[in-house]
Amino acid sequence: MGTMGKSKKATEKSDTKGKSTTTRNKTLMLAGGVLVIVAIVAVAAYFLLTGPAAATGNSVSVFYTGMFSNGTVFDSNVNSTPITLVIGAHQVIPGFENALVGMKAGQTKTVNIPVELAYGPYKPEYIHVINRTGTLKTLDLVKGGMLTYRNPSTNSMSMVKILDFTQDSVTIDGNSPLAGEPLTFTVQLVSVNKDTG
């Protein structure tokens, strides 16, 4: 009976040791699996970020978020469709365009853009008083609203802000709503395509 008791205790110890070894092996396998996943992600990120760097003449696709200097967001295309533009074609403000040069697909960058490289300084000479004739005569106008205006000297169309109006005239502001503002953009380069030229 004493021998059986010893044998039972030895078996229990052996089972405990076996369970401990199995648990340890499972933990090691799990840790190994996690390391493999991390390595795969690191390799994928390496190859993603070692593509061609964006340069003048490249067509690129970009996600962006534009903010005022106080952090207020004024525009973003994140969770939407990326914009496509050609670097050097002046399709966007200079500071935004400059930020893209040297970036690689998958890279994200936040840049502070001074007024001169954004929408420029606010210019009082862009404020005009125009006669309220033709369609302007009957159009319902709202202070602070936007108006499509044809500049007679350049024959170009632009969106202008209505500062004030009377029965005979409308005071418009041709400055960009973002003129005079330093801006911050977070940009994510989605893709870099071949030179367009």
Structural fold of domain 124-173: Thrombin, subunit H (2.40.10)
Which of the pair, 51 or 45, is modelled with greater confidence? 51
Structural fold of domain 58-119+179-195: Chitinase A; domain 3 (3.10.50)
The string of pLDDT tens digits covering residues 142-190 is 999 999 887 777 788 888 999 999 999 999 999 999 999 999 999 999 9
Domain boundaries of the chain, sorted by first residue: 1-48, 58-119+179-195, 124-173
Question: At 185, is the secondary structure helix, strand, or coil?
Answer: strand
Residue 160 and residue 176 in contact, taking contact as beta carbons nearer than 8 Å: no
Residue 132 and residue 166 in contact, taking contact as beta carbons nearer than 8 Å: yes
Name residue 65's beta-bridge partners: 76, 186
Check residue 155 and report its DSSP letter: T
Cα gap 70→151, rounded to integer Å? 34
| The model's pTM | 0.66
